[in-house]
Structure 1
Amino acid sequence: MIAYPNIFKIVIIASLLVACTSKSTDSNIEKDSASARLLNAASEPQNWLTHGRTYDEQRHSPLDQINTANVNDLGLAWSFDMTTKRGVEATPIVVDGVMYVTGSWSIVYALDAKSGKLLWDYDPQVDRATAVKACCDVVNRGVAYYGGNVYLGTIDGRLVALDATSGKKAWDVLTVDPTKSYTITGAPRVIKGKVVIGNGGAEMGVRGYVSAYDAITGEMHWRFYTVPGNPADGFENDAMKMAAATWNGEWWKWGGGGTVWDSMAYDPEFDLLYIGVGNGSPWNHKLRSNGEGDNLFLASIVAIRPDTGDYVWHYQTTPGESWDYTATQHIMLADLVIEGKLRKVLMQAPKNGFFYVIDRKTGELISANNYVDINWASHVDMKTGRPVELPGVRDFSEPKVITPGSGGGHNWHPMSYEPETGLVYIPAQNFLASYLDPQDPSDKQYKPDTSNLGVDMMGLAAPDQPGIRPAMRKMFNSFILAWDPITQKAVWQFDHKDVGASGMVATAGGLLFQANPQGYLTAYNSRTGEKLWSHWLQTNAMAAPISYQVDGEQYIAIAAGWGGGYATILGGLTAQYELKNRSRVLVYKLGGTSKLPVIEKSNFAIPSPAGMVTADNTVLHQGMLLYHRNCQLCHGDRAVSGGVIPDLRKSSKAVHDMWPGIVIGGALKDGGMVGFSNILDMKDAEAIRQYILQEAAKAYATQSASEKK
């Protein structure tokens, strides 16, 4: 029998080390003006110096020039169109009147924050074939700033330092094994002169870790792995030895997962860096670990030392996770008075649907409650810190509809905390998914260069299950949840139609800004949820807005652009609201009079199919299975594209004529469409083509019938 460690582990010596070293650490930081500036970012309300504005990641602006009384006077100050047309997820950084923002393909733009004038741009020249390694588009969530340099993580796994004035490259280091399907979409953080960066790729079968590099030289200082490797190779540290006791079977052959692809926060008082760890590889616990063990540090918050990468404590939100329940969602720090006592806490609303309040010094669970409807667990046991799972939630022998599903009750879209109200504003959602054990025997073995989920994508989409798919789609929606972290209850809620709202920022003017699924940047009264102002972006936005000030004027800014995983999951949303991708930065101020360019109405119509279906029902069914197992993650459920990656139902005769060369031979790899000769053959490619023709014919017939009414 394997003995599993408690869900959280307190390392007592850690607090003693802090007490002994804090004085010298503080002294070193004071000598480092660049580090001191980031530590004191709260004293510069005019700037947005780091990803969450300050190290506590509260994403609250103390600026109040724009407020509930005058927000109706808000107008567009300027806009800037990026040069690419894929997803945009970046939080802009603003330093002394200059905005640094990223678009797709990891391209950086430096803009005059007052006028929007392009000062410089930097293209890391990512090989477009890298797109096949990205589960959820070639997006980037932003840069870090430190001492006159801008730091960028690229989709192909590099960490790049740029001169903030000129955009000239200072250094460029590869942080991943390029033979494996690693990517970087998250924003770096700079702590005590070290650039900290994680990576993605758990869906593709990699082993997660986070690394720290010298901000001046690019030399790697340390690396902390989040899951253990092959025990025969030895363990990097005691933390990995401890974690290995919670795994079973030959997990390392699958990679293990646990990538640190987004959230981090830093507490200088305790000198702790907190990282959020992702899902398992594969998702399915039965395949990954024979259905046994907690599988540390998957779905965990881990506290480590930023100087050394040494483990201090962890809290696992979902032991033995099997539903893509990442804990990479936004981590924020705050000081709260709970039961009459000041508590220094860490807060997170991860995918699994529970909101956690944790002691950030020790990792002790203070409270937890579900913030969305869930059907996989009843509650969190406060004695053990473990969720109490409901019977049968791990049985995927038949399609199992779970809420939240793989999209989570809250995904990567940043939350915001307002000290004045004491509320955390969560971009929450109801997001269901259906899980099914692999039906194809080959999916029960690791396959390189493709998704390894350990669940059948037909189960995830459930297009062939009577009644499941329509019911799931009707229950998809999103909402703003104003959550009291002390009482663990909602204070108010604003419901959106559909899923796809952006991250948020709260301001001292009593305002909360978020873009809704229909593509409107909207201001709400942060105390009541009343909608006060909105402006159409001509596209959707996923990233969080920010606020900054230049020459005494306050601005609200958002990097907009449709894409990411939502563009494939919610393909029909783009057609319904005509949300064609327009990758741009939009900035607003009181009295702004700028106008967006007039746009032509987007054409989402399906043309007459470029060929006839000639296959029988057996081949068409096989084509449907192959499509959803191999193509769905990019091209959309039932071939309904989100408008960023081509809608295959619109494929021309020329595309159909060269279909084998594209699907098997990789004729369009320079555009990101690599060949799949490693997992598909010519017969498979033709079956998929016939299925696409069938879906095109169905859509065209439905569309024509609707037009006749």
Structure 2
Amino acid sequence: MKQGLLGMVAGLAALGGFVTSSFTATAQNATPAGIDHASMVGADNQPGQWASYSRTWDEQRYSPLTQINDKNVQRLGLAWYDDLDTYRSVQATPLVVDRVLYNETIFNVVTAYDATNGKKLWTFDPKVGKEWARLACCGPSARGIAAWGNKIILATLDGRLIALDKDTGKEIWSTQTFPPGHEYSITGAPRVYDGKVIIGNGGADYGSRGFVTAWDAETGKKLWKFYITPTDPSKGPDGEASDSAMKIAQPTWFGKFWDAGAGGNAWDSFAYDPKLNTVYIGTGNGSPHMWHFRSEGKGDNLFLCSMVAVDATTGKYKWHYQMVPEDDWDFTCTQPIVLAELKIGGKLRQVAMQAPKNGFIYVIDRKTGKLISGDSYVSVNTWASHIDMKTGRPVLAPGAHNTTAPHLMSPSWMAAHSWQPMSYSPKTGLLYWPAQEQGSIYARAEDGAYHYTKGRNNTGQDPVSQPELRKKLMAEAVAAEKSYLIAWNPATRKEAWRVPYPFPGAGGVLTTAGNILVQATVNRSIAIYSADKGKKLWEMNVDQGGHAGAITYMIDGVQYIAINASWNGSPAYNLPKDFRIATAKLLVFKLDAKGVTLPPMKAEVEQAYLPPDRIPADVAARGAALYAQSCNRCHGDDATGGIKDLRKMSKAAHDSFLDIVLTGARAEKGMPSFGGALTEAQAKDIHGYLIKRAQDDW
């Protein structure tokens, strides 16, 4: 009877939106038999659950719960935690359904916990091969799982979509979403919209053609496929849902762009409007990165770096808005898309909002794809001066496109805003996200010098030319690095407030009706701010950073906040010399919790060592190029900062460098084996380059 009543009320809410707040208070502890369309449309009628990546399909990451609020948050304490026993980044957003918290750690291992006390109920390991730690762009992390009916659904790094029984963890079905042997991986969270599992993939950096697929949540059967970029036109249509869209995209590409895949992979961002039956896709960068090599320096290259709207049932193209035509900078528009209703110019508008890598915040009419506003939120933007509101196109800054001369770009591939979750509070009318300003040196390779290499990061850049100029530009980038939490009013197009941080790497955000904003910070803490003013209300040191977003849920009248705390390894130029982290942990908080404490960090025993070896110039040059292809994503441009500053390796690390790189001798610390991608000679060249960098700077 309770289940039927909840379904009826959720249905009424979807139709008329008149469910009273008194029922909401009662329904927050209800336990329906799994998640369905009505329960997701009426998610605010069960605010105690967190049943999708951002709780609701509009991706707002906002909770109506108010028990923990700006008046009492000082009473917050650690209720329980689980040590995830890895130094890798755990980026997942947990789910809470029917009193159970489901979490995903590295290599897609899923664990179910009693959400009130942390008791483990079951664990499922899909046995992803450890070689995927290097085959994926940025390690073996995953950003989350999905729930539907009696199932928990995960998308594995190696491309499988797997449905588990939510009560037992037993596999129900499994299907392969991309062809084995191709340069794909999955790190994004699957979404389920009205029984259809939507998933994209990564791999543009390695040379793949991006696409999104939909699968039946009950059977794992493929429903539709939407390609993001075209391919060799001589092959004819793909016979997929995207065929009409490819007719639009094809004329915007030139040369044999398909040789390196073209890219565009949708590796993270989706949103869904059930009334419009529309899925919104955030697409990625081109392959290779340099427009000159990818498309002969011609054409907009649709649908790179775009928001693309498709029909949820068929996958058919509806509209697109391209934020970065002529992508030449490894910009992506895979950052979160948030749907909301805003009053703009006295008129209520249904909008989609996104703050991608390029430093602009966009507000788009989600019915038509028409740009409503586009504003820069960074202090320096050497890519574009503004967005032309008549054409919707960026007005590129002089010298923005890459030539063979090194120049400094900000924002850069490191992003003004990366994948970290953002939040919109309908109570404050503000949009929140972690922002940063990090310049990077760009220069395309000379003609004939770039060749596509399968399994490598194919940038098309020259990382070594004009070293003295590079040294000067790098110093400018280091000096200008900034990081902050920003609150933005999308209706008035103005910043409301910001909280500065000492270096980049802060986590995604959660807001609630209790006027709180929760974030993992680069100060190795979990912090809570007032959502309206940005005033710090509470902070706890956890010896960890974190890019993952927090969730909140309620069981038996008690509200909890949960978050995965772990350092992402995002490069930071000004990372403190003594910056250290503990193992990744799932942390759960509630009011007045006492008696649970985190263990102290293990002592650091290694000291930096400067080898005296003289490194030949040709070795350092080869090593610099290889480093740029394989290492800079985690260890920073020019070996400057990152998850581990490789200019400051210990003597033990230098002595065992080849074992670390080629056999995975420090895999437990998060460093995967590159044995399948690098030869011993190449690893030695990289080592020589790093010794030279250490000697240059230290």
Q: Distance in 1 between matches of 2:355 and 2:169?
A: 36
Q: Distance in 1 between matches of 2:664 and 2:61?
A: 43
Distance 1:505 1:419, change over 3 A: same
Which stretch has the larger CA shift, 614-623 or 539-548?
614-623
SS in 2 for 1:321: coil
SS in 1 for 2:294: helix
Map 1:389-428; keep pairs closer than 5 Å: 389-428=396-435
8 A Cα contact 1:328 1:412, kept in partner: yes
Give the Å deviation of 1:118: 1.2
Map 1:40-439; keep pairs closer than 5 Å: 40-236=42-238, 237-373=243-379, 374-438=381-445
Distance 1:471 1:545, change over 3 A: same
Q: Distance in 2 between matches of 1:175 and 1:636?
A: 32
Give the Å deviation of 1:453: 1.3
8 A Cα contact 2:78 2:596, kept in partner: yes
Q: Distance in 2 between matches of 1:116 and 1:667?
A: 32
Distance 1:185 1:684, change over 3 A: closer
Give the Å deviation of 1:399: 1.4
Match of 1:485 among 490, 493, 507: 490
Give the Å deviation of 1:640: 6.5
User: Is 2:652 the partner of 1:652?
Assistant: yes
Q: Distance in 2 between matches of 1:421 and 1:336?
A: 12
SS in 1 for 2:36: helix
Q: Distance in 2 between matches of 1:57 and 1:600?
A: 35
Q: Distance in 2 between matches of 1:541 and 1:604?
A: 24
8 A Cα contact 2:646 2:690, kept in partner: no
Q: Distance in 2 between matches of 1:89 and 1:83?
A: 14
Q: Distance in 2 between matches of 1:639 and 1:354?
A: 28
Distance 1:410 1:642, change over 3 A: closer
The residue type paired with residue 76 of structure 2 is: L
The corresponding residue for 1:15 is none
Q: Distance in 2 between matches of 1:90 and 1:462?
A: 40
The corresponding residue for 1:5 is none
User: Is 2:607 the partner of 1:606?
Assistant: yes
Q: Distance in 2 between matches of 1:662 and 1:502?
A: 29
Match of 1:501 among 506, 529, 535: 506
8 A Cα contact 2:209 2:264, kept in partner: yes
The corresponding residue for 1:633 is 633
Give the Å deviation of 1:440: 9.1
Q: Distance in 1 between matches of 2:287 and 2:114?
A: 42
SS in 1 for 2:65: coil
Give the Å deviation of 1:600: 3.7
8 A Cα contact 1:635 1:648, kept in partner: no
8 A Cα contact 1:665 1:676, kept in partner: no
* Post-superposition CA distance 1:149-171 (Å, at most 9, x none): 00101111111111111111111
Distance 1:640 1:315, change over 3 A: closer
Q: Distance in 2 between matches of 1:490 and 1:589?
A: 31
The corresponding residue for 2:528 is 523
Q: Distance in 2 between matches of 1:185 and 1:605?
A: 32
Give the Å deviation of 1:624: 3.6
SS in 2 for 1:128: coil
Give the Å deviation of 1:667: 9.1
The residue type paired with residue 606 of structure 1 is: Q
Give the Å deviation of 1:457: 4.0
User: Is 2:540 the partner of 1:535?
Assistant: yes
SS in 1 for 2:307: strand
TM-score by length of 1: 0.88
TM-score by length of 2: 0.89
8 A Cα contact 1:518 1:579, kept in partner: no
Distance 1:591 1:95, change over 3 A: same
Q: Distance in 2 between matches of 1:149 and 1:697?
A: 55
8 A Cα contact 1:334 1:346, kept in partner: yes
The corresponding residue for 1:706 is none
Q: Distance in 2 between matches of 1:514 and 1:197?
A: 26
8 A Cα contact 2:94 2:102, kept in partner: yes
8 A Cα contact 2:635 2:643, kept in partner: no
The corresponding residue for 1:11 is none
User: Is 2:467 the partner of 1:469?
Assistant: no
Gaps in structure 1 of 5+ consecutive residues: 1-24, 703-709
8 A Cα contact 1:518 1:577, kept in partner: no
SS in 2 for 1:539: coil
SS in 2 for 1:245: helix
Map 1:661-700; keep pairs closer than 5 Å: 672-675=672-675, 683-694=681-692
The residue type paired with residue 590 of structure 1 is: L
Give the Å deviation of 1:546: 1.1
Which stretch has the larger CA shift, 463-472 or 369-378?
463-472
The corresponding residue for 2:9 is none
SS in 2 for 1:506: strand
8 A Cα contact 2:608 2:648, kept in partner: no
Which stretch has the larger CA shift, 139-148 or 513-522?
513-522
User: Is 2:516 the partner of 1:511?
Assistant: yes
Match of 2:556 among 536, 551, 558: 551
Q: Distance in 2 between matches of 1:78 and 1:469?
A: 44
Give the Å deviation of 1:570: 2.7
8 A Cα contact 2:664 2:672, kept in partner: no
Q: Distance in 2 between matches of 1:101 and 1:90?
A: 7
Gaps in structure 2 of 5+ consecutive residues: 1-13, 16-32
Give the Å deviation of 1:478: 1.4
The corresponding residue for 2:10 is none
8 A Cα contact 1:229 1:235, kept in partner: no
SS in 2 for 1:227: coil
Give the Å deviation of 1:37: 1.7
SS in 2 for 1:573: coil
Distance 1:608 1:528, change over 3 A: closer
8 A Cα contact 1:519 1:537, kept in partner: yes
Q: Distance in 1 between matches of 2:549 and 2:337?
A: 15
Q: What percent of counterpart residues are identical?
A: 42
Q: Distance in 2 between matches of 1:52 and 1:435?
A: 35
* Post-superposition CA distance 1:80-115 (Å, at most 9, x none): 111433111111111121111111111111111110
Which stretch has the larger CA shift, 76-85 or 244-253?
76-85
Give the Å deviation of 1:683: 4.4
Distance 1:638 1:301, change over 3 A: closer
The residue type paired with residue 353 of structure 2 is: M
8 A Cα contact 2:505 2:568, kept in partner: no
Give the Å deviation of 1:227: 0.4
Which stretch has the larger CA shift, 600-609 or 388-397?
600-609
SS in 2 for 1:57: coil
Q: Distance in 1 between matches of 2:46 and 2:356?
A: 30
SS in 2 for 1:177: coil
Q: CA RMSD in A?
A: 2.8
Give the Å deviation of 1:292: 0.8
* Post-superposition CA distance 1:24-64 (Å, at most 9, x none): x99xxxx9972222222222110111111101111101111
Q: Distance in 1 between matches of 2:34 and 2:72?
A: 41
